Structure 1
Amino acid sequence: MVSASPWCLLGRAAQGPDALLIDLDAGCAERTREQIAPGDLARAVAAREAAAPTRWVWSDTPAWYDALLAAGVRVERCHDLRLVHVILARSARVADPGPLQAAESWDRPPDAPAPGPAEQPGATLFDLETAAAGSSPVPQDAQSALEELRRQLEAIAGADEPTALRLLAAAESAGALVAAEMRAAGMPWDAQEHDRILVESLGARPRAGALPARMEELAQQVRGALGDPHLALDSPPRLLRALHRAEIPVDSTSKWELSAHEHPAIAPLLRYKEMSRLLTANGWAWLDAWVREGRYRPVYVPGGVVTGRWASSGGGALQIPRRLRPALRADPGWLLVSADVSQLEPRVLAAMSQDPAMAAAGAGRDLYAGIVESGIVATRQEAKVGMLGALYGGTSGDSGVLVRRLRVSFPAAMGLVDDAAAVGERGGTVSTWLGRSSPPPDPRWLEAQREANLPEASAAAQERARRSARDRGRFTRNFVVQGTAAEWALSWIAALRLSLSRLPDAGADDAAEPSGPVFARRAHLVHFLHDEVLVHSPAAQAEDAAAAIRDAAESAGRLLFPGSAVDFPLELAIAERSEAK
């Protein structure tokens, strides 16, 4: 087990709508079993939490926790069987993954969330009232959950480095709690400011089906310059044909390719495309769909990327454009505390590899500036380009030259990623610090390598195989670092979440109801993006929240890399509106 906290499994009873609470001992054997009617579940869970911190074992966090949060009940810890199953069934550190891999019903992603009005033709704003955050397709009954828990604990116990896998299971499950809580609390969002930004950028809100005035003006300029008065600018094939008729030799309608040409149509077309992105991704339809009562509630997907990074399956929380950040505004009497980690992935690489020179370059300062001061490169930009090349496999041009310099100065760090790339090029699997493993090569990759090794293989087949091998090497090179950085970040938000939950109530009697009964009176997380967190805090508690963010970052570093000289400095700000990147 991960900790000394009592474990309690929560699942559906075999018959009827009741739930079963099953107390488990250290050997995963039942001690007590209690059947709970649906209307009593929140009260029963709250009573257990009040008696002693409990680790709740359940099939899938949103399937159970969303209703508890709505009822005002928060839990301290959980073990998310679906998320942990995905990790263990694929981990190279598990000696015998067969039983887990055979349990195919647990190897599924969560269902997609119900679409909001912007995504569902004919839907009205009222449809959002009952839109689910996604129901779990994995087994909900208590017996299936208990059997899966036993498989998982046996796999961890028999694994190489079981302590690391236990920590990863706990961190991934804590991330699931954070995701559910951030959706329940919502991100404070100023709809009027959002509308002002849209009007300033696009013009007044148009009638349904029409373009804003400024976009329509630009569209007419493009059509006139291309000699096609009826051109549909949002149709790439038609636009490409119109560009060719105007003798603009482009292979795509990408910004980078268009920018290389001079023609009266190019400048207004680029402005039109920029406005179109804003209108499509975060325009008035998005505002209607995702912002209600001063809160933006996107759908986060913990572990949605193979490296362990999060994804989003609704609302686009991971792609909020900078120009809309002013709409992220604290409630009256509250503040936003934002923080992001400086150069997280390079620092994680330094800690993983125990490279003393690289650790020294970033000790208490900007890592890229430290690389410049060490004389390896001349400018901070060169240091950044070289490090990105090291992490993502840059081998040509300026990046390749800078990577070669880094190999000389940071041999341990560069050796770690070079070795990971070599494993990938051979078709092997690599693992993160705590044990999340990369997926195996896909069948097309294997077929390309097989064809290249045939006696009659053509030069083209051999080149395809070499190219695909290099591509896979770049993937595994980055996988070990990005995945470990994701583990550090999960550890950070897990520690921060617990610290914030232990702050005293600080909200006024009329604390904002949109945050829900659990979060209306205390600082709480409202956003997380890879290396960035955002906390919504009563003004009187903002400094305490900032201290909790710093302490949690230090704690994450000690937890993953005990004794390491690598530090993880933060850029932190407290303001009414978001100052985060």
Structure 2
Amino acid sequence: MHADPGGPFLIQRLDDADAPAGPVNAAGPAQLSLLDDDAPRWVWRSPRTYRALLAAGVRVTRAHDVELVERLLVAAAGRFGAPHGLAAASARLAGLPEEPDPPPEADDEPPGLFPSAAPAGPETLAAVVAVHAAQRRTLAGNPRLALLATAESAGGVVAEEMRADGLPWDADVHDDLLTTALGPRPAGYARPRRLAELAADIDAAFGRPVNPDSPAEVLRAFGRSGFELPSTRSWVLKKVDHPAVAPLLAYKELARLHTAHGWAWLRTWVHDGRFRPEYVVGGVVSGRWATRGGGALQIPRAVRGAVRADPGNRLVVADAAQLEPRILAAMAGDDALARAGGREPDSDLYAGLAHELFGGSAPDGRAKAKLAVLSAIYGQTSGDAGVHLALLRRRFPAAVDVVEAAARAGEDGRIVRSWLGRTSPPAAPGDEVPARARARGRFTRNFVVQATAAEWALVLLAELRAALHAAGDPARLVFFQHDEVLLHGPADGAELAAAMVQDAADTATRRLFGDTPVRIPVPGRVVTSYAEK
């Protein structure tokens, strides 16, 4: 299907061979809703097409997003970062030079707008049909990549629905939280009262005026006091014995809140009791999502109390416990590591590992076990991390082999792939230099695990959305970040929705890894506020 701005939706049926099975027809929202009763797979150009459908009151069961899938296929073919828009894909099919992808459309443009470089109306629909058929032929011989394409498309659907529904946000509560933390809302560009007080304390500690918003001034002030610091990062400042450190750390934290989620943010992003960020599916190379503005993936604890269910409704908050280590166990088929992780909702993988590695006798065994696992995934080998990693390697060789093979591939300049086939960026010129090669090895070591975890999360979203719809929508997905989901719906359906999250997680694990002893606990908690998490 295709939608031109201000025009009708153009649709065309496809046969089982993905070829046109009838003429191009114009359809309105009511007709599209009736057609979706048979749960067809809608094929469209990009998530923006679905945005136009949602604006018309139409929700679909499933879809194939041509541009999201093309990005996966271009990278899998060894051309990471090549243009993946409809115009470029059409040109490739015709043996013509690729057109560069246009810049992302502004969020305030009317839904359904397409770049002028792309053909309009029926011609665009024909291009969507042709590119989709070519993609299906490519995916036919690669079931894992086909599953990723399906999940990525489902992610595009979920992202647009979450934007349309919005995350419930109480602006009055947010204002109260800011006033408690910062003092009354200041006029103009003045500092809030609490920040002004802390700035005065910093001046007093240094014995002269210092602008705490200027790292250069702060470094010079510490230098005059006999402390040569490499930066003003919090972990650096915490090691310094100086009376300015405490007010400076407090200032940095509150200034970050004021800048990133203060009154200006509230005025810009929250309307009619909803926060509607624009999610970017696969916006990070590992497949994790990003957002365009709004900082949706970094909601600070200080304002989470403003995320509140509507009257008579509840939120379900669910996050995957120790996701990446469990994903690694499943990838490696490391049954011993899977058993250490346990299968109960409150299972603690690191505690289980502590028992396996240290016999449960070390008082800090859990911390050591966690350090060992994170060292394996992120490549830290210095100090105690290297010692604990060596112990992990002896006890769980299959799991460690997965990440170390990925690290060697990265150091050698080779690409690596996730479980379903998402492809890492290629080596850049100069990556053969030893220091850069080691850094690339650390990246690819983490990539294979993080990207597979992102795939698992996509499948969870798809399964959960489908299950909720089949159950009559006891709740809807309203927020997602990496390994956490939020649902919102009537109070009487909240417990059912919470249970459905774990069911979807178990299904996602089976879809990716088949019969595995690994279980990824995703307990859902029914709350009225995100702060209750």
Q: TM-score, normalised by structure 2?
A: 0.90
Do structure 1's residue 489 and structure 2's residue 457 form an aligned pair? yes
State the one-letter code of the partner of 1:211.
R
| Alignment match of 1:73 (pick from 45, 48, 58) | 58
The verdict on how the C-alpha distance between 1:100 and 1:423 changes in structure 2, with shifts beyond 3 A counting, is farther
| Alignment match of 1:48 (pick from 35, 39, 50) | 35
Gaps of 5+ in 1: 1-8, 115-129, 450-464, 506-521
CA RMSD between the two structures: 2.4
What CA distance in whole angstroms lies between the structure 2 residues aligned with 1:242 and 1:267? 15
State the one-letter code of the partner of 2:498.
A
Matches within 5 A, 1:381-420: 381-420=367-406
Aligned partner of residue 234 in structure 1, secondary structure: coil
Aligned length: 511
| Alpha-carbon distance, 1:239 to partner | 3.0
What CA distance in whole angstroms lies between the structure 2 residues aligned with 1:340 and 1:133? 32
Do structure 1's residue 148 and structure 2's residue 131 form an aligned pair? yes
What CA distance in whole angstroms lies between the structure 1 residues aligned with 2:148 and 2:265? 35
| Alignment match of 2:23 (pick from 33, 45, 52) | 33
The verdict on how the C-alpha distance between 1:239 and 1:269 changes in structure 2, with shifts beyond 3 A counting, is same
Aligned partner of residue 480 in structure 2, secondary structure: strand
Give the % identical residues: 47
Aligned partner of residue 372 in structure 1, secondary structure: helix
Q: Is contact 1:11–1:59 with CA below 8 Å preserved after alignment? A: no
| Alignment match of 2:354 (pick from 372, 380, 386) | 372
Corresponding residue number in structure 1 for 2:14: 24
Gaps of 5+ in 2: none
Aligned partner of residue 32 in structure 1, secondary structure: coil
Do structure 1's residue 553 and structure 2's residue 505 form an aligned pair? yes
| Alpha-carbon distance, 1:207 to partner | 0.4
Matches within 5 A, 1:17-416: 17-36=7-26, 40-50=27-37, 52-61=38-47, 63-91=48-76, 103=92, 108=101, 111=104, 113-114=106-107, 130=108, 137=115, 139=118, 141-157=124-140, 159=141, 162-229=142-209, 231-364=210-343, 365-376=347-358, 378=362, 379-416=365-402
| Alpha-carbon distance, 1:474 to partner | 0.8
Q: Is contact 2:49–2:112 with CA below 8 Å preserved after alignment? A: no
The verdict on how the C-alpha distance between 1:193 and 1:390 changes in structure 2, with shifts beyond 3 A counting, is same
Corresponding residue number in structure 2 for 1:468: 436
| Alignment match of 2:429 (pick from 428, 443, 452) | 443
State the one-letter code of the partner of 1:34.
V
What CA distance in whole angstroms lies between the structure 2 residues aligned with 1:290 and 1:74? 24
The verdict on how the C-alpha distance between 1:260 and 1:102 changes in structure 2, with shifts beyond 3 A counting, is farther
Q: Is contact 1:110–1:135 with CA below 8 Å preserved after alignment? A: no
| Alpha-carbon distance, 1:184 to partner | 0.6
| Alpha-carbon distance, 1:109 to partner | 7.7
The verdict on how the C-alpha distance between 1:430 and 1:210 changes in structure 2, with shifts beyond 3 A counting, is same
Q: Is contact 1:362–1:566 with CA below 8 Å preserved after alignment? A: yes
Aligned partner of residue 444 in structure 1, secondary structure: coil
The verdict on how the C-alpha distance between 1:107 and 1:475 changes in structure 2, with shifts beyond 3 A counting, is farther
Tell me the alpha carbon deviations over residues 384-414 of structure 1, each in whole angstroms, 9 at most, x when there is no partner: 1111111001111111111111111111111
What CA distance in whole angstroms lies between the structure 2 residues aligned with 1:189 and 1:31? 46
The verdict on how the C-alpha distance between 1:402 and 1:113 changes in structure 2, with shifts beyond 3 A counting, is farther
